Amino acid sequence: MTMTNVDELAYMPIAELAPQLERKRVSPIEIAEAVLSRIEKLNPALNAYYTVYSNELRAAARNAEQEIARGNYRGPLHGIPVGIKDIYEYGRTTCGSKPLDNYVADEQANSVRKLVENGALIAGKTATYEFAFGFPTNKSYFKPTRNPWNQAYDSGGSSSGTASSVAAGLAYAGMGSCTGGSIRWPAQCCGIVGLKPTYGRVSRAGVYPLAWSLDHTGPLARTVTDAALMLQACAGYDPADPGSANLPVPDFTAKLGHDIRGMRVGLMRSLYDSSCDARIRVPYEAALREFEQMGARIVEVPSITLAQQQAIEWPAVFAETAAIHVDNVRHRGDEYNPHAKLFVAFGLLVSSACYLMSARVRAQVRDELVSALDSACDVLMLPTSGTPVPRIAEDSPGLSIVAEDFAIYTPIFNFTGLPAIQVPCGFDRDGLPVGFQIAGKPFDEATVCQVAFAYEQTTPWHQQHPKL
């Protein structure tokens, strides 16, 4: 294969590659080699993977080829290399933290096991913010992941490596986790799709927790269809996860291609209007016009403000994180990234009354959004974040992330649990990606994907890849 062929193969959507695999027009071995050659070439600079399973991937690809040759095709992920965020237990699992550099998990996270059962090939473990919250810097034990669109910039987080690897063609898709935006924000920074399903849709068993009541697991991919295919393969009830929902798993691709004419898109302006940077707002408003041209109706939906979102999200995140990490930090806090100890200490300052007030208000906001989705609109729409992609930092931002100028609009769908997808909608003037979110009713990921797909198909963004 020439490098051009390798690159073309590595960037093919799963939905296009899968039929070719099934018809034996392309081999899983060829695909694995294409991905491995790009990892070898690009990962040293991007630091998207902490661990690459080269030999295991080749062996799994050979098995997949034999299975498909025998007629045992397992579905659209069969023979497709994917990356797994390094807080999922699967082989070496560092959580991006020095004390776990040599930890090798005995078990596999249940969602990863499902992906493997559906034929996915695990290419490696992808970089993460430390335990999904500790910002890496150039001084950290595990170095930051670089953005493939411009390597001076951060890839976002905490699912940094999954986002960077998928955008750079080092995996076809991957798994991330999301407590306040850690699937959608890095997906935005890297110009790809990030799908945070409804709370309870995908098992978290075997994934290192950050904040139990807010943690979600889900896929990142280059297209809406590929994200839906990934979700299909990993979703479902798991008694090992106390938050898992015992509900049937529908076909998440069922509505792709259905007309969205007449659908009502509800804007949550109060959350983003006063804080969204013009560099984000311009492509976002162009996306709004695109929806109108497709025949959707734009309506206004009352919502909370950014300050209110922070008042609800942060006490819950920090208190739960402190509950998880306080003993670790007492013993090995000096080995964490420098500010991580501060985050845990901050969580210990949250009073029980404050935590419970946050939980009560979450219930109110959830009920209001569900009510709006029942009566006023079919989906909700807002920018993913109002702040352009940050540069790689020399020093940690520390607790400054709780300041209001860090305008991110993703947490509202963590503390309400509603499904939300990030879709690219262009680039800012520095050439870095911009995206928006579509959210929907609980467990209605199919409609969320339908609306996102309709936009994706009318725009060129998903066909553009970073020049590497």
Give the footprint of other proteins on residues 413-452 (CB under 8 A): 415-417, 442-443
Residue 321 CB: number of other CB atoms within 10 A?
A: 24
How many Cα atoms within 13 Å fall on the side-chain side of residue 432?
24
Find the part of the chain contacting other proteins (CB under 8 A) among 111-119, 281-289, 303-311, 386-394. 303-311
* Among 167, 205, 227, 312, contact with other proteins (rule: CB under 8 A): 312
d(CA 380, CA 34): 38
* Among 91, 174, 200, 435, contact with other proteins (rule: CB under 8 A): 200
Nearest alpha carbon to residue 126 among 85, 81, 174, 178: 85
* Among 12, 345, 376, 393, contact with other proteins (rule: CB under 8 A): 345
Hey, what amino acid is at 197? P
Asked if 133 touches other proteins (CB under 8 A), the answer is: no
d(CA 322, CA 314): 12
Find the part of the chain contacting other proteins (CB under 8 A) among 38-46, 254-262, 266-274, 398-406. 398-406
* Among 12, 326, 376, 392, contact with other proteins (rule: CB under 8 A): 326
**DSSP letter for each residue of 351-411:** -HHHHHHHHHHHHHHHHHHHHHHHHT-SEEEEESBSSPPPBPPSS--GGGGGSTTS-B--T
- Which tokens hold the place of 463? 């066909």
d(CA 133, CA 136): 9
User: Mind telling me the catalytic residues?
Assistant: 85, 158, 182
For residues 348 and 447, the answer to whether their CB atoms sit within 8 Å is no
Find the part of the chain contacting other proteins (CB under 8 A) among 54-62, 76-84, 284-292, 345-353. 345-353
Q: Report phi then psi at 436, rounded to 5.
A: -135, 170
Q: Which is nearer to other proteins, 138 or 364 (CB)?
A: 364
- Cα 423-235-95 angle, rounded to 5 deg: 75
Asked if 364 touches other proteins (CB under 8 A), the answer is: yes
Asked if 358 touches other proteins (CB under 8 A), the answer is: yes
* Among 15, 105, 247, 249, contact with other proteins (rule: CB under 8 A): 247
Number of residues that bind other proteins (CB under 8 A): 50
Asked if 243 touches other proteins (CB under 8 A), the answer is: yes
Asked if 399 touches other proteins (CB under 8 A), the answer is: yes
Binding residues for other proteins, per CB under 8 A?
A: 198-200, 213, 243, 245-247, 304, 307-308, 310-312, 314-315, 326, 329-330, 341-342, 344-346, 348-351, 353-354, 356-364, 366-367, 398-399, 402-403, 415-417, 442-443
